[in-house]
Amino acid sequence: MAKTTKKRRGPQPAAKAELNVPVRVGQTVEVEITGLNHEGAGVGRIEGYTLFVDGALAGEKVQARVDHVKKNFGFAKLASVVEASTFRSMPPCPVYDRCGGCSLQHLAYEEQLRHKQQIVRDNLRRIGGFPVEGEGAIPVHPTLGMSEPWRYRNKAQVPIGEENGALVGGFYAEKSHSIIDMDECLIQHQANDEAVSAVKRIAASLSIQPYDEVRHTGLLRHVVAKIAVKTGELMVVLVTTEETIPRMDELVDAIRTQVTGVTSIVQNVNPDKTNVIFGKKTVTLWGSDVIYDYIGPIKFAISARSFYQVNPAQTEVLYNKTLEYVGATGTETVIDAYCGIGTISLFLAQKSKHVYGVEIVPEAIADANRNAELNGVKNATFETGPAEVVIPAWKEQGIRPDVIVVDPPRKGCDEALLTTILEMQPQKVVYVSCNPSTLARDLKVLAESYEVREVQPVDMFPHTGHVESVALLVRKDMDR
């Protein structure tokens, strides 16, 4: 008999311990909702265990189906409302329950504004350790909202795919890459909806193949539409996997004929297997390379890949508040860290002696210089590089800012930049934030030398959980 060798088994992974929590996946539970988290989900507790319930509102009693549990908290879907909030609203969007674009259409708009104010207050207290109530509290003002909080987005980025052999385009279902085919989004500018719908119809009629992100086949990946609200100029961007577009002349002619107001048709080529929308190569197929829009009196050139605020009406509100907090009288030197394409810098240059803008993205600085020239602004200087490197170099050149403005991405300010600000000791810091948690974290650092005087939330994205804020910080040795 042949000799057999018994395989020696190595250490075996321990069986996953069952979590000792009062709910289980698949269970339907009744829970009272006491608040909303920063993403707009209802917050309830069962035997002290926190449960986040999508679609539930503060003050409600609901039936919820548990779909995920962790040691300290779990997630559930709303099954039914037992006792409804007086602020519950009927979402007007027909695909609201499936689309992942909005999270708060079911909450009355005025209550959305109060919720966003509270989110900012809660983060300042919990993360920053700042008082927000009683004596010595930092004033967090009521959120500045919109009189008409619909149709505000000036840019649509619509993924294209295939379903049952037909070209479809819309937005992704919540927490997935499954496309919900749609021709209308109630927070999109109507011109963008009409442009995207027309391009989908035209592409299908010309048998242009939609992209399949699983197989990485097909041609048309995204349709991007940008409307300049003040001028009415419209850009259509076709994001494709290859440079060659079959029947391209027919496609361009049809878009020119069927899309009202189009002044620019652009192709961007992205051959990579990635979730990033744009590739490196962009060509203009017809019309202008850019469209022009205004924020207040400042004119901006917007290219296919330019970053530009998607809610221009509220951007003007946000920037006017920033200008107010800077308090420029014409004698101040201002540094704008994270200046992007110069939107805030050019606003500040109207009333400042000189503005210095720094941004790590070279293309953005090129746009900033172009926008300065477009507006005849001579008192703005832009430089490419990390703010924490460029600003100290400016200091060595003798530049002493009276005010530093920061408008960082969601991750907040680089730690080295905060150190630089504390070393340079400007009279004021104005912090423009798109993330209340990193705002609170960074203000806690700056509070070493600065008093946080006030914070103004601004609703840039109605019906979503996002909130922007502007905070005014004044050096502690300055007179009130």
Task: Write out the catalytic residue numbers.
Answer: 434
Round to whole Å and give the CA distance between 337 and 406.
Answer: 5
- Dihedral of CA 306/307/313/319: which sign? negative
Residues 6+ apart with CB under 8 A from 149: 109, 459, 462, 463
Phi, psi at 206, each rounded to 5°: -95, 5
Contact 228, 257 (CB under 8 A): no
The Cα angle at residue 205 between residues 199 and 206, in degrees rounded to 5: 90
Q: Which of 459, 434, 433 is nearest to 150 (CA)?
A: 459
Q: What is the identity of the amino acid at 287?
A: G
Give dist(CA 368, CA 291) in Å, integer. Answer: 15
Contact call for residues 192 and 227 (beta carbons, < 8 A): yes
Residue type, 95: V
Residues placed in the known binding site: 309, 338, 359, 407
Quick count: other Cβ atoms within 10 Å of Cβ 214? 8
Structure tokens of 138?
A: 């930092």
Provide the 10 A C-beta neighbour count for residue 258. 15
Helix 415-424 to helix 436-446 angle, to the nearest 10 degrees?
40
Structure tokens at 229: 């609200």
Residues 6+ apart with CB under 8 A from 371: 298, 299, 300, 301, 341, 342, 346
> Binding site for S-adenosyl-L-methionine: residue ranges?
309, 338, 359, 407
Using CA atoms, how far apart are residues 216 and 79, in angstroms rounded to an integer? 37
Which residue, among 272, 102, 104, 255, has the nearest Cα to 188 in the 3D structure? 102
Q: 125: helix, coil or strand?
A: helix
Q: Please, how many CA atoms are within 13 Å of residue 139, restricted to the half-sphere of its CB?
A: 7
* Sign of the dihedral through C-alpha 30, 175, 226, 344: positive
Contacts of 439 (CB under 8 A, 6+ apart): 120, 123, 124, 412, 431, 433, 455, 469, 471
Rounded to 10 deg, the angle between the 415-424 and 387-396 helix axes is 20
Helix (H, G, I), strand (E, B) or coil at 50: strand
What are 157's strand-pairing partners? 224
Give the bridge partners for 153, in sequence order. 188
